[in-house]
Chains A and B, each alone.
Chain A
Amino acid sequence: MTYFPEEVVEHIFSFLPSHSDRNTVSLVCKVWFPKLRVLTVKGKPHFADFNLVPPDWGGYAAPWIEAAARGCVGLEELRMKRMVVSDEGLELLARSFPRFKALVLISCEGFSTEGLADIASHCKFLRELDLQENDVEDRGPRWLSCFPDSCTSLVSLNFACIKGEVDSASLERLVAKSPNLRSLRLNRAVSVDTLSKILMHTPNLEDLGTGNLTDEFQTESYLRLTNALEKCKMLKSLSGFWDASPVCVPFIYPLCHQLTGLNLSYTPTLDYSDLTRMISRCVKLQRLWVLDCISDKGLQVVASSCKDLQELRVFPSDFYVAGYSAVTEEGLVAISSGCPKLSSLLYFCHQMTNDALITIAKNCPNFIRFRLCILEPRKPDAMTNQPLDEGFGAIVRECKGLRRLSISGLLTDKVFMYIGKYAKHLEMLSIAFAGDSDDGMMHVLNGCKNLRKLEIRDSPFGDGALLGNVAKYETMRSLWMSSCNVTLKGCEILASKMPMLNVEIMNELDGSSEMEENPGDFSKVEKLYVYRTTAGARGDAPNFVKIL
């Protein structure tokens, strides 16, 4: 690119229609890098969410922040997911970018409230501080008081994942001087009274995450809350409900008719009748996250009340394998029949049937994301005892726009044959405890033209599948395989055939020394992570990671 004058390069780039492509290109092009305004970085593999990636694997934010601090001081927005961020990194970030406006951290770790204090203190034009589900060390409530009086630009503040106490007075002051606040998500420490006071200052609020709504209260507090909520005419999205007592439910009623988004998935204290009392009034709901204690009956209420529903997530309240869930295929069939606009689904359930999946596929051909998790691995069709191949086959056949799919239950190679044949737009596929042989994985690699991310665990795919279509991995972002049948030898062959891939293997129990002693051993590789690279092997890999 240095051979072309800048105007030519920019002209070429202007043909890139998508934002994400332009962003990607700008990272590679040295000429463009200094002008970078928005940087989005994702670190660990997705399965790190489920403790499958050992700690200290990598994904450190510091090198990115340091490089940006040196090279693109115009940076305005930084979005990071599954990265390890330190307080020092946050301090450097806060001091290096005079026009910094937005920090979004999702599922990150490694920092504390002291790092947030630096962000608050030094980012004069901060508009967005959005902390989603991070593991943040609590070092006291001081950070919230660090916003200077001159900082009046906040549009979005989300500190729901902060575990510790919060100084109510500081919080009220901050909200009172932020007239542009559209989105506010509080943590568990914020009381009903504080919430009511805050809401008197936020008439334009569109998205609210409540503090705790326990029953240790006075009735007057809840009446004040209802009054305050009624002033928020723009409020469309509600979440939080920490430790919510069922008593709080009627006080939310005045809001229900205007809600398009509702997240009750962190509230095990509300049972199915509390949930349905609330949800049946939410006739405009488009996005709903709940726990499985809503039960099939409750989902029928959702189906008859929420005709505009587009996204549904039903999370388990029992985290044990084959634990109990009140939600089965019946609830999902009811939803599919009542909510034909449904396009995004995450559904943890106790059991499923082929018939149900076939019905669901016919009712909702618009699925873009379909993630089904039957709690017990390899569980067959609950009525016929057959594998669920036909059911998932129907999903991929009917839902022509499907981009993301997670499968579960008893599945043979046949389901992969269907996926390879029909899921032409599929970009991400998650497989667990499925398949019979290498053929399964081969169907996917050969058939899914748009596949970007493939993650597989506990499935009988081995070297034959791994090496069956190596060129495919260059078109993909990453491949993850854990507890499968790939061997060290197979991985070495892959690495030697594809030098532009990083082939990382992880064996946790003193793996690396063992491997060096017996090169070419046919010992199974516990975890394999393959991804494209332009920079070669990374330098920050820990001992248990070997890059071939």
Chain B
Amino acid sequence: MSPPLEHDYIGLAPPEDLKGTELRLGLPGSESPDRRPPAATTTLDLLPAKGAKRVFSHDEVPPPAPAAAGKNGKVVQEDADGEDKKVAAPPQPAAKAQVVGWPPVRSYRKNTMATSQLKSSKEEPDAKQGQGFLYIKVSMDGAPYLRKVDLKTYKNYKELSLGLEKMFVGFSNGRSGSNALPGKKGVSESGSDGEFVLTYEDKDGDWMLVGDVPWDMFTNSCRRLRIMKGSDAIGLAPRAGHKSKNKN
């Protein structure tokens, strides 16, 4: 069961670093034939091309190599790796080889890590996280398509709201967005006059007002953002004079 490849909704050429986070599938059956039983070689994992943290896409823990696997520990040579040897680039094997007991890592460590990664992958289906990036979807009421932002490029709420403003500038009916989004100094006005309120869905699936919790806490629980029309947000907007605590 493999997840579909992610596409940018707009279809524009992705910024440079997105290419580096492109996820690819390691297809089973593309490995050279081996005498080992199929269970040891069929792997349906996502292969990050560069920089992305490994996430297991299925529930299986990578099996410790079975004791009776093959008469020798010869490496299964991958199909297309020869020409990359001279270049100091991360390998992008089309298939993954498995050698019993290699790399030399204790089973305890492998099993423990597998449990950790299962836990973290279950918690973030909408947010793609890796080393140094955290992409989440942003929707704006009335906009024809969604966008994605990397929360790690912002250090605080103010930067986030400025970034979102720039991104959705065409859709805000001419009104500047910064009044509507709670920032370090700001307070959101209640939305009866059509301004926007920034909300997010957290790990529990609840829709929350952006700005209440410390920034770090927010980035760790935020799964997606929604720029809500003020008229829909009456329950959520903070009362006038309410100070938002913002620890950056």
Contacts and interface: CB of A to CB of B under 8 A. Distances in A.
B104 A49 contact: yes
Interface in A425-457: 430, 432-433, 457
Interface in B54-105: 54, 62, 64-65, 67-68, 71-75, 78, 81, 85-86, 88, 90-91, 93, 96-105
For this complex, into which size category does the number of interface residues on chain B fall? 35 or more
A183 interface: no
Give the secondary structure class of A's interface. loop
Interface centre among A315, A322, A433 (most CB of B within 10 A): A322
A351 B53 CA distance: 19
A328 interface: yes
A323 B51 contact: no
A382 interface: yes
Contact of A376 (B65, B91, B120, B203): B91
Nearest to B52: A324
Contact of A269 (B47, B62, B97, B120): B120
A320 B102 CA distance: 8
Interface in A267-302: 267-269, 271-273, 293, 295
Interface centre among A269, A320, A323, A378 (most CB of B within 10 A): A320
Interface string B97-129: 111111111111110110011011000000000
10 tightest CB-CB pairs across the interface, nearest first? Answer: A50-B101, A133-B108, A483-B73, A321-B97, A52-B101, A54-B67, A49-B106, A50-B104, A320-B96, A271-B131
B119 A243 contact: yes
A326 B131 contact: yes
B235 to A, nearest CB: 23
Given A320-B96, A322-B81, A247 B217 contact: yes
21 contacts: A51-B107, A52-B101, A107-B106, A135-B107, A219-B214, A247-B220, A271-B53, A293-B53, A317-B53, A319-B105, A321-B103, A324-B47, A324-B50, A324-B54, A324-B91, A326-B51, A328-B88, A373-B104, A383-B88, A508-B67, A509-B68
A47 B116 CA distance: 25
Given A215-B221, A322-B81, A457-B73, 7 more contacts: A51-B100, A51-B107, A107-B106, A324-B91, A379-B85, A458-B73, A483-B74
A243 B123 CA distance: 12
A54 to B, nearest CB: 5
B91 A247 contact: no
Nearest to B102: A321
Contact of B116 (A267, A316, A320): A267
Contact of B90 (A50, A324, A526): A324
B93 A322 contact: yes
Interface of A: 47, 49-52, 54-55, 107, 133-135, 161, 215-216, 219, 242-243, 245-247, 250, 265-269, 271-273, 293, 295, 315-326, 328, 348, 350-351, 373, 375-380, 382-383, 385, 406, 430, 432-433, 457-458, 482-483, 508-509, 526
B116 A269 contact: yes
B113 A268 contact: yes
Contacts of A293: 53, 131
B105 A50 contact: yes
Contacts of A133: 106, 108-109
B159 interface: no
B211 interface: no
Contacts of B74: 458, 483
Nearest to A272: B131
Nearest to B54: A318
A243 B100 contact: no
Contacts of B100: 50-52
Contacts of B91: 322, 324, 350, 376
A321 B109 CA distance: 16
Interface centre among B98, B107, B203 (most CB of A within 10 A): B107
Contacts of B78: 322
A382 B88 contact: yes
A293 B129 CA distance: 13
A266 B216 contact: no
B48 interface: yes
B97 A320 contact: yes
A459 B91 CA distance: 24
Nearest to B119: A243
A160 to B, nearest CB: 10
Given A268-B113, A376-B91, A320 B106 contact: no
Contacts of A432: 102, 104
Contacts of A326: 51, 131
Contacts of A49: 104, 106-107
Nearest to B97: A321
Contacts of A382: 86, 88
B37 interface: no
A167 B112 CA distance: 21
A39 B104 CA distance: 28
A50 B108 contact: no
A116 B36 CA distance: 39
Contact of A321 (B47, B64, B85, B99): B99
B102 A526 contact: no
B135 to A, nearest CB: 14
B132 interface: yes
Contacts of A373: 103-104
Contacts of A242: 116
B202 to A, nearest CB: 10
Contacts of B107: 49-51, 135
Given A55-B67, A243-B116, A458-B73, A323 B88 contact: no
Nearest to B96: A320
Given A375-B103, A376-B91, A246 B220 contact: yes
A295 B106 CA distance: 22
B119 A321 contact: no
A20 to B, nearest CB: 24
A321 B91 CA distance: 11
A247 B216 contact: yes
Given A161-B108, A320-B96, A348 B53 contact: no
Given A47-B101, A293-B53, A380-B85, A215 B116 contact: no
Nearest to B216: A247
A215 B220 contact: yes
Given A266-B112, A508-B67, A246 B216 contact: yes
B108 A107 contact: yes
